[in-house]
Homo-oligomer: A and B are copies of this chain.
Amino acid sequence: MTASLARRSDSRIILVVLDGVGGLPRGGTTELEAASTPGLDALAREGACGLTIPVLPGVTPGSGPSHLALFGYDPVVHEIERGALEVYGVGQTLDADQIGARGNFCSIDEKGIVRDRRAGRLSTEENSRLCALLSDKIRKVDDVGVQFIPGKEHRLVLLLTGEGLNPMLTDTDPHEEMKHYAACAAVDPRAEKSADVVNRLTEQALSVLRGEKQATGIILRGFSGKPDVPTLRDLHLLTPCAIATYPMYKGIASLVGMDIIDCGNTLLDQVVSLEGVFGRYDFIYFHYKATDMAGEDGDFDRKVRLIEEFDSLVSRIRRLEPDVLAITGDHSTPALMKKHSWHPNPFLLVSPYARADRAVRFTETECSRGCLGTFEAKHAMSLMLAHAGKLEKYGA
């Protein structure tokens, strides 16, 4: 609905996503509560606070849905197929004449039986070498361009480019070991050309990989076409960019039409990049990955330190004087659980038009006292746009 209210303005928004920042208590305090965060706390006192529900109560999101929600999309409506996310996740995009799939290097015996779906968890280096080899040997199948893009360990992405491709295809991955790899079949008659291409390149890959020690074949799953997501430029008349270090987040940002800013790998590199591009964009998505990784590792103390590291730099972000500075998580990753969770995230929004409230720290419990209440993350974008004067009045 807010798309119809879009209004161009000179104001600037910075959205900082501290990945997986929400936590659960150890000895009575969460990671955020245990951290010393004078910078964030000052912003919490100055701004409006609340808690965001990533998707719906109780629903643990992947990074795709949780980020789409923060960018203002209903994550239940805009379900991005896994194959597409994987393509974007390795830093590629999908155009209208392309389809993609995720896949594995695997061990296939001479009878076509998949002995090990992960080829002994191939090293990432070996994966890169084999993708380069395959891409070199199998450049085209008829008029269809073929690219093999390495992921981590045994994972790869297949990208096909050509006329008349269609992703309504079944997997070649048998999803179980000691089974023959499957023939790709068209679920829709319009996908028959694509099925034929996939089957032929699978055979060709077997030939190319013959004699390799670990990976002797590939299996594919989750074929996807270009996701049908309107861009932030179209929806909200924004000129958006992303400052992120990991391919997955650059991918999602690119999916919604953000420019991807080159930056180094450290948080300081990211802040310096932000300072460099601040004047050129009116919506900047700033992604901090480290907090999530510490949570996934179950490392409470490291997560605390990484939160403190961000806090030490937050004043430099504030100093840019964006019209709206919003800071939140995309989901919780409590060290206690070592994985994503459904728990709501602290959210703070600083702007001359933010109503200050009783929250005095940037923590789960303090933000639950905030005036924004506990709300679904998909509303965060409207709140940012509104505080930046980028939304017209609704109705007369």
Q: Which A residues have a C-beta under 8 Å from some C-beta of B?
A: 1-2, 5, 24-25, 28, 30, 51, 55-66, 75-76, 79-80, 82, 85-86, 334, 336-337, 339-344, 353, 355-358, 364-365, 368-375, 379, 381-387, 391-396
Query: Per a CB cutoff under 8 Å, which of B30, B60, B368, B394 touches A370?
Result: B368
For the complex of A and B, 5 pairs with smallest distance between CB atoms: A373-B374, A58-B382, A58-B386, A57-B379, A65-B395
A-side interface mostly? loop
- Residues of chain B within 8 A (CB-CB) of A355 are 24-25, 30, 343, 364
- Residues of chain B within 8 A (CB-CB) of A382 are 56-59
* Copies held by the complex: 2
Instruction: Decide: A373 and B373 in contact? CB cutoff 8 A.
Output: yes
**A344, A356, A368, A381 — which one has the most chain B CB atoms within 10 A of its CB?**
A368
- Residues of chain B within 8 A (CB-CB) of A1 are 56, 59, 76
- Residues of chain B within 8 A (CB-CB) of A369 are 358, 368-369
Q: List 12 A-B contacts (CB under 8 A).
A: A25-B356, A51-B373, A58-B387, A58-B391, A59-B382, A59-B386, A65-B395, A79-B395, A340-B393, A343-B355, A357-B368, A372-B374
Contacts A341-B353, A357-B368, A371-B365; is A61 near B25 (CB within 8 Å)? no
- Residues of chain B within 8 A (CB-CB) of A65 are 394-395
Instruction: Decide: B24 and A62 in contact? CB cutoff 8 A.
Output: no
Complex CA distance for A143 and B217, rounded to whole angstroms: 66
Complex CA distance for A392 and B371, rounded to whole angstroms: 32
- Tell me how far the C-beta of A118 lies from the nearest C-beta in chain B, rounded to whole angstroms: 18
